[in-house]
Amino acid sequence: MSDRTKGIARVALPADARLDTLAVREGLPPSAWGENSEALFLTSSFVHPDAATAAARFANEEEAFVYSRFSNPTVTMMERRLAALEGTTGCIATASGMAAIMLLVMGLLKAGDHVICSRSVFGSTIKLLQGEFGKFGVQTTFVSQTEVGEWQAALQPNTKLLFAETPSNPLTEVCDIAALAEIAHGAGAVLAVDNCFCSPALQRPAEYGADYIIHSGTKYLDGQGRVIAGAICGPADQIEQKFVPVMRSAGMSLSPFNAWVVLKGLETLSIRMREQSARALQLAQWLEAQPQVERVYYPGLPSHPQHALAMRQQGGSGGAVVSFIVRGEGAAAGRVNAFAVIDHTQICSITANLGDTKTTITHPASTSHGRLSEEQRLAAGITQGMIRVAVGLDDLEDLKADLHRGLRGLATI
Ligand SMILES: *Cc1c(COP(=O)(O)O)cnc(C)c1O
């Protein structure tokens, strides 16, 4: 809810309403018809009572809905609700998670500016920063997800933005948000955190000093794999000054329909995240005990290198994504074995998406990270034997049986 809708009425709620209540009620007051479920405003423009009012609204002298590229009641409801969950005063919704990152960079940076970004972020984020924004003279240095010293050492006088994503995909490496915020602020830069994997139900980066929080609403916020959506959360005045003007001219706006779907998804976010994470922990513990599994990557396990940090930062939860490596001598055997496990599943969806109630299974080395060379992949720790499972709401025993079907045929040494 940026300043552009400040003058637009709020839902009548007690000032101290808690998070679970805000998740189902924050937004806009009902329309003249008193609907209990939020309306879907499929309209491109809004009419004005007279020409003078139209002029005042176009000049930003009066807050009102004007045109859905700028703002729309359904989109505003989603923005207000997501901001409440992230604990920020503002939010601006975008057409996709990548559009949110594009808007972030367009709003904050200019040619000659420098970005420091984790090497372990979403592949398209790397391509966008290095490739697209590189073309426009924004330079990016990629550093370790976990070594804070590398971020400090990469600072330049023109560094304006630090960009992190935690936990990372598929290795679930966790970075220290508070430490990165301190480095950014010490250098007069800002920190943006892609909070896709945990969502505000588990991790609220603003509490650790992050200035902007990036979302792919496509994942847990919708939670049922239906729409593409994104958002930036942050201080309302900054969103108003830096991002709203870019949105108005560049138009990476979220469609009201997709906003409505995400708005409904936010109502069950907390319950879904808690339940999917609880099942993921149990699945991770079970995988760790399987003789055909070489290693399990899950922040909720004490064997995870950043377990203590993750538990602190993620509200005691490991999230719902578990990765593991099946045994097998060498890359070729690793791949054959990983494919065998994936192909023996009868329940898991073989897809690279995540954040769905349907559990998904993927082979990162040949899909999400298939465009990297084998050397780059190994440097990133992604081997041919690795499988990623994004745990949904399928029955846990069914999931174990689904993975066991393929695992039991593999050698245990
Ligand atoms: C999927 C994803 C994105 C991109 O989101 P889209 O909605 O697909 O554009 C960005 N960051 C992370 C961590 C993601 O998983």
DSSP string, 218-259: TTTTT-SS----EEEEE-HHHIIIIIHHHHHHH--PPPHHHH
The amino acid present at 90, given as its one-letter code, is G
CA of 409 to the centre of ligand 1 (A): 34
Confidence (pLDDT) at 375: 85
To test the ligand 1 pocket, which listed residue (174, 199, 219) has its Cβ within 8 A of the most ligand atoms? Answer: 219
Helix (H, G, I), strand (E, B) or coil at 204: coil
Beta strands at 114-118 and 159-165: parallel, antiparallel or unpaired: parallel
Name residues whose C-beta falls within 8 Å of residue 126's C-beta, 6 or more positions apart in sequence: 117, 119, 142
Residue-wise pLDDT for 54-69, tens only, equals 999 988 889 899 999 9
The C-alpha atoms of residue 332 and residue 57 are separated, in whole angstroms, by 64
In terms of CATH architecture, what is 3-266? Answer: 3-Layer(aba) Sandwich (3.40)
Q: Within 10 Å of residue 6's Cβ, how many Cβ atoms?
A: 12
- Buried b or exposed e, range 103-133, using 16+ CB within 10 angstroms: bbbbbbbeeebbbbbbbbbbebbbebbbeeb
- 0.85 surpassed by pTM: yes
Q: Is the Cβ–Cβ distance between 354 and 390 less than 8 Å?
A: yes
Helix (H, G, I), strand (E, B) or coil at 321: strand
Q: Is there an atom of ligand 1 within 6 Å of 219 CB?
A: yes
Distances (CA, A) of 267 to 51, 92, 197, 222, 305: 39, 19, 18, 10, 33
Helix (H, G, I), strand (E, B) or coil at 346: coil
CA of 83 to the centre of ligand 1 (A): 19
- Confidence class of residue 372 from pLDDT cuts 50, 70 and 90? confident
The C-alpha atoms of residue 52 and residue 34 are separated, in whole angstroms, by 29
CA of 56 to the centre of ligand 1 (A): 38
Calculate mean pLDDT across residues 129-157: 97
CATH 3.90.1150.10 describes domain 272-410: yes
Closest ligand 1 atom, CA of 98? 9
Q: Residue 310 belongs to what H/E stretch?
A: helix 307-313
- CATH 3.40.640.10 range(s) for the chain read 3-266
Calculate mean pLDDT across residues 390-407: 97
Task: Report percent pLDDT > 90 for the chain.
Answer: 88
Q: Is the Cβ–Cβ distance between 178 and 164 less than 8 Å?
A: no
Q: Is there an atom of ligand 1 within 6 Å of 97 CB?
A: yes
Q: Is there an atom of ligand 1 within 6 Å of 293 CB?
A: no
Confidence (pLDDT) at 410: 86
Confidence (pLDDT) at 3: 53
Name residues whose C-beta falls within 8 Å of residue 93's C-beta, 6 or more positions apart in sequence: 75, 78, 79, 82, 217, 229, 230, 231, 253, 254, 259, 262
Residue nearest to atom 8 of ligand 1 (CA): 97
Q: Is there an atom of ligand 1 within 6 Å of 356 CB?
A: no
Backbone angles phi, psi at 68, to 5 degrees: -75, -5
CA of 406 to the centre of ligand 1 (A): 29
Q: Is the Cβ–Cβ distance between 163 and 120 less than 8 Å?
A: no
Of residues 6 and 327, more confidently modeled:
327
The amino acid present at 209, given as its one-letter code, is G
Q: Residue 165 belongs to what H/E stretch?
A: strand 159-165
CA-angle at 47, arms to 43 and 53, nearest 5°: 145
Task: Specify burial of residue 381 (Cβ count, 10 A radius: 0-12, 13-18, 19+).
Answer: middle
Calculate mean pLDDT across residues 354-374: 92
| Six-digit token string for 383 | 């081997």
The C-alpha atoms of residue 354 and residue 199 are separated, in whole angstroms, by 12
Confidence (pLDDT) at 338: 97
- Confidence class of residue 373 from pLDDT cuts 50, 70 and 90? confident
Name residues whose C-beta falls within 8 Å of residue 119's C-beta, 6 or more positions apart in sequence: 126, 142, 143, 144, 145, 380
Q: Is there an atom of ligand 1 within 6 Å of 75 CB?
A: no
Calculate mean pLDDT across residues 39-52: 96
Q: Which residue, among 291, 281, 275, has the nearest Cα to 404 in the 3D structure?
A: 291
Q: Within 10 Å of residue 278's Cβ, how many Cβ atoms?
A: 16
| Six-digit token string for 388 | 């990623």
CA of 100 to the centre of ligand 1 (A): 9
Confidence (pLDDT) at 351: 95
Q: Is there an atom of ligand 1 within 6 Å of 168 CB?
A: no
Confidence (pLDDT) at 290: 97
97 pLDDT more than 60 = yes
CA of 204 to the centre of ligand 1 (A): 18
Backbone angles phi, psi at 6, to 5 degrees: -60, -40
Calculate mean pLDDT across residues 41-62: 94
Average pLDDT, the chain: 95
Calculate mean pLDDT across residues 179-200: 98
Q: Residue 401 belongs to what H/E stretch?
A: helix 396-407
Residue nearest to atom 7 of ligand 1 (CA): 97
Q: Is there an atom of ligand 1 within 6 Å of 232 CB?
A: no
CA of 136 to the centre of ligand 1 (A): 22
Confidence (pLDDT) at 413: 64
| Six-digit token string for 114 | 């420098």
- CATH 3.90.1150.10 range(s) for the chain read 272-410
Q: Residue 140 belongs to what H/E stretch?
A: strand 139-143
Residue-wise pLDDT for 289-318, tens only, equals 999 999 999 999 999 999 999 999 999 999
Confidence (pLDDT) at 1: 43
272 pLDDT more than 90 = yes
Q: Residue 142 belongs to what H/E stretch?
A: strand 139-143
Strand order in the sheet with 212-216: 90-94, 230-234, 212-216, 190-194, 159-165, 114-118, 139-143
Calculate mean pLDDT across residues 77-83: 98
Closest ligand 1 atom, CA of 353? 1
- Confidence class of residue 251 from pLDDT cuts 50, 70 and 90? very high
